[in-house]
Each structure stands twice: as structure tokens, then as C-alpha cells.
């Protein structure tokens, strides 16, 4: 894939230009404390957005883009409106109140760390509680749910950000874990099987970058409408320059990666991953598992009753073919496949390259493309089914194990 050696440096320069805005905003009395807090959060989240996009972490970038839309609408809500700005800041104490009763992160701490941590949280919560009760009494019970007096959609329409709110709703599908927000992670292949992708989400990067940067620039423009003496042009120019130099290339790369990944999953013999029982001529047995998006590596399977039981079912085949020297190089291994089933990985053991076993798998010409699939028949009995490597068997021909 094409590389952009300067993209990290460029992103760092973009964020530096944004940070230079803070002294200006702090110096201008026209901007209340709420606006300053929101801008500091927006700059931080914009930094996260850029670096998540560069790394190809599309789902994380979508969450950053979503909150950037909220920041922009919030900036428009509180600037020039002292009452709403006070409401925003009155919500500050809620965090300490909620943390005082939280079990996290104390669940992960030992005794020496737990006591001072819980004490600090309880003290902060106790100090914040009367402030929070006063805020609730002033603003009403609905204040617990949201600091704003109107919902986000109404405020977006009020300030001319309807299109941003529409994008916010799309990003919310990712944030809330909706199936509708699983783009790039689940689809039906051309042969009708289900394919799942685990890991980064490059397909979501272009949308996240477009939404987040557009929202952020709109927030900067709104700051300038409040006080024209605030110089936002340099910050906006750096964002636009980054987008102009890199956005189309990022789009092309992420789309290319997504197409290759989908094609790879559709052409593999095990679209969603497989497990293999590797065995040596001397009778050693080891379970490995791999996933289609990282099929260059095999991972040792944690030994348990399930994998032991499966090994027993393979036993007769191992005995049958162990003496066929054509299956092994000296000291080599062969493997039987359990398609579309990924077993639990033993995290304490390092992965091995797939080439450690695959090139020696079945070197004799007549067996080179032969594997054994393990399935379960209608009565629950384990059965074996031979098939040729190439395209995955129809999902109905190799049933899921219980």
C-alpha cells in the first residue's frame, strides 16, 4: 500500500495549530468558562480523530467524530448565553458524584492501591454532592439526564447544523453497538456464507474524518462569529490543508484495503477462521487456530476438555495416515482442519508463522490439496468429510459443533 511518510508530522502540526487557539480564547472575556472547556475537549478529540484515522481505527474515529458534532453544537449553545453556560458548568459535579459509587477501577486494584483510591473518590463525591443537589433543585430532575434545556436535534436545527446532526445519528450507530453500525465487520459473501472481521475498521475512516473535521471547523467558525478578533484562520487553514493533501489518498487506501480483505475472506477455505490439529510423524498433537484476517499466523489453543475430545475423534485418522511418509518431511508436521471454528487461544504461548506447518502439510502431489473437515451429523455424532481446498464448503455441508 502507498505510504505517506509525512502524515504523522502533518497531523501533529495540525493539532499544534489548534492548541494555539486556547490562549486566545482564555484571554477574551466574551468567552465564558463553558466555551473554554468545550474547546479544550474539542481540540483533544480532534487530535484523537486524526491519529485514529491514520491508524485505520475507523470505529474509534467514528466515536470521536460523533462527539465533535456534539462539541460544535454545544459551543453554539453556550457562547453568548450565560444561563445555558451556567447550566453546562453546573453539570460538572455529576462526574464526581457518580464516581464515588462506582466499582471501577477499584475492582482491578490490590489493597495498597484500593484504600487511597476509594478514599479519594468518596471525598470528591462527598464534596460534590451538595453542589449537585443544588443544581438539581435549580434545573429540575431532567438535569440528571442532560445539561441542556433542549435535545441535541433541536439545538442543531436552531444553529443551522441539521446536516451535522444527520451524520451524528450515523456515528451513533457505532457508538451504541448497533448492527447497523457494523459496516466492514460483517457481511454475506458471494457464496452465501457469513463473514466476520475483527480488528481495525479502515472502511469507516473516510466518513469519520469528513464528519469530524467538518464539525470541528464549524465550531471554530462559530467562535469567530462571537468575537471577530479571535484568529481562527490559521487553525482552519491547517485542517483544510491536511484534508486537501491526504483525504483522497486515505479514501483510496481504505477502500482498496476493504476490497482486498473481503476478497480474501471470500476466497479462503475458512472465511471466518479455522482450527487445525497438527500432528507429527512421531505422534505429537498440537491444536492451533487462525482467523482469516490474520491467516499468516497460527496460535496455540488452550488445552481443555473440548479440544481433547476433538483430538480423540481425529485419532483414528492420525493412526491411518501417520505411516504414509508422503505426508511428512523428516521431522515435519501434517494437519487436519476444523473449518469455521476458532478455539480459545492460549495467550501465554507465542504465535507461529503459518509457514511453519503449511508448506510441509501434505507435500505429496496427490495429497497436496487434501484436508479433512470435522462436522456433526443430525444425531450429534462426529463425522469426517473430505473436500478440496479452494472455496469454502456450503455452510450446510459442515455443521457447527455444539
Instruction: Flag whether pLDDT at 5 surpasses 70.
Output: no
| Rounded Cα–Cα distance for residues 107 and 104 (Å) | 6
Helices (H), 227-327: 233-267, 305-322
Compute the mean pLDDT over every residue in the chain, rounded to the nearest whole number. Answer: 76
Instruction: Flag whether pLDDT at 398 surpasses 50.
Output: no
DSSP state of 366: G
SS (H, E, C) 37-50: HHHHHHHHHHHHHH
Kindly indicate the confidence band of residue 175, based on its pLDDT and cuts at 50, 70 and 90: very high
Torsional sign, CA 204, 205, 206, 208: positive
Condensed to tens digits (0 to 9), the pLDDT of residues 285-331 reads 777 787 655 556 777 777 666 666 666 666 655 665 555 434 444 44
Q: For residue 352, what are the β-bridge partners?
A: 298
Radius of gyration of the chain (CA): 28
For residue 390, the model assigns a pLDDT of 25
Phi, psi of 165, deg, nearest 5: -65, -35
Condensed to tens digits (0 to 9), the pLDDT of residues 72-94 reads 999 999 998 889 999 999 999 99
| Rounded Cα–Cα distance for residues 184 and 227 (Å) | 43
| Rounded Cα–Cα distance for residues 303 and 132 (Å) | 52
For residue 33, the model assigns a pLDDT of 87
CA 325 to chain centre: 46
- How many residues comprise the chain? 402
Instruction: Flag whether pLDDT at 363 surpasses 50.
Output: no
Condensed to tens digits (0 to 9), the pLDDT of residues 238-261 reads 999 999 988 888 888 887 777 766
The domains of the chain are located at 7-91+147-267, 274-388
Greatest Cα pair distance, the chain, in angstroms, is 86
Q: For residue 333, what are the β-bridge partners?
A: 280
DSSP state of 362: S
Amino acid at each position: 500500500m502507498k505510504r505517506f511518510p509525512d502524515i504523522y508530522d502533518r497531523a501533529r502540526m495540525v493539532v499544534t495549530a489548534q492548541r494555539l487557539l486556547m490562549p486566545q480564547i482564555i484571554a477574551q472575556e466574551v468567552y465564558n468558562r463553558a466555551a473554554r472547556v468545550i474547546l479544550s475537549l474539542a481540540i483533544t478529540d480532534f487530535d484523537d480523530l486524526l491519529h485514529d484515522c491514520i491508524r485505520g481505527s475507523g470505529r474509534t474515529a467514528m466515536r470521536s467524530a460523533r462527539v465533535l458534532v456534539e462539541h460544535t453544537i454545544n459551543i453554539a449553545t453556550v457562547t453568548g448565553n450565560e444561563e445555558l453556560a451556567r447550566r453546562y458548568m453546573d453539570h460538572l459535579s455529576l462526574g464526581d458524584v457518580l464516581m464515588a459509587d462506582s466499582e471501577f477501577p477499584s475492582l482491578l486494584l490490590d489493597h495498597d492501591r484500593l484504600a487511597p483510591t476509594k478514599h479519594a473518590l468518596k471525598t470528591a463525591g462527598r464534596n460534590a454532592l451538595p453542589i449537585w443537589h443544588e443544581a438539581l433543585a435549580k434545573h429540575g430532575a431532567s438535569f440528571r439526564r442532560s445539561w441542556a434545556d433542549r435535545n441535541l436535534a433541536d439545538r442543531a436545527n436552531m444553529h443551522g447544523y441539521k446536516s451535522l446532526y444527520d451524520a451524528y445519528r450515523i456515528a451513533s450507530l457505532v457508538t451504541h453497538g448497533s448492527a447497523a453500525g457494523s459496516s466492514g465487520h460483517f457481511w454475506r459473501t458471494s457464496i452465501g456464507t457469513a463473514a466476520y472481521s475483527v480488528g481495525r475498521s479502515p472502511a469507516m475512516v473516510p466518513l469519520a474524518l469528513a464528519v469530524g473535521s467538518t464539525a470541528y471547523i464549524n465550531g471554530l467558525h462559530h467562535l469567530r462569529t462571537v468575537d471577530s478578533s479571535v484568529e481562527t484562520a490559521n487553525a482552519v487553514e491547517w485542517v483544510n490543508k491536511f484534508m486537501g493533501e491526504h483525504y483522497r489518498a486515505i479514501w483510496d487506501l481504505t477502500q482498496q484495503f476493504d476490497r482486498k480483505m473481503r476478497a480474501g475472506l471470500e476466497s479462503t477455505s475458512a472465511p471466518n477462521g479455522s482450527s487445525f490439529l497438527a500432528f507429527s510423524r512421531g505422534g505429537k498433537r498440537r491444536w492451533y487456530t487462525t482467523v482469516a484476517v490474520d491467516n499468516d499466523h497460527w496460535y496455540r489453543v488452550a488445552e481443555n476438555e473440548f479440544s481433547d475430545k476433538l483430538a480423540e475423534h481425529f485419532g483414528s485418522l492420525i493412526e491411518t495416515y501417520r505411516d504414509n511418509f508422503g505426508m511428512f518431511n523428516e521431522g515435519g508436521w501434517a494437519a487436519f482442519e476444523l473449518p469455521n471454528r476458532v478455539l480459545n487461544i492460549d495467550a501465554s504461548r507465542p504465535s507461529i508463522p503459518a509457514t511453519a506447518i503449511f508448506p510441509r502439510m501434505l507435500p505429496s502431489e496427490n495429497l497436496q490439496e487434501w484436508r479433512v473437515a470435522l462436522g456433526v451429523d443430525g444425531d450429534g455424532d462426529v463425522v469426517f468429510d473430505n473436500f478440496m481446498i479452494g472455496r469454502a464448503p456450503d455452510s450446510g455441508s459442515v455443521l457447527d459443533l455444539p
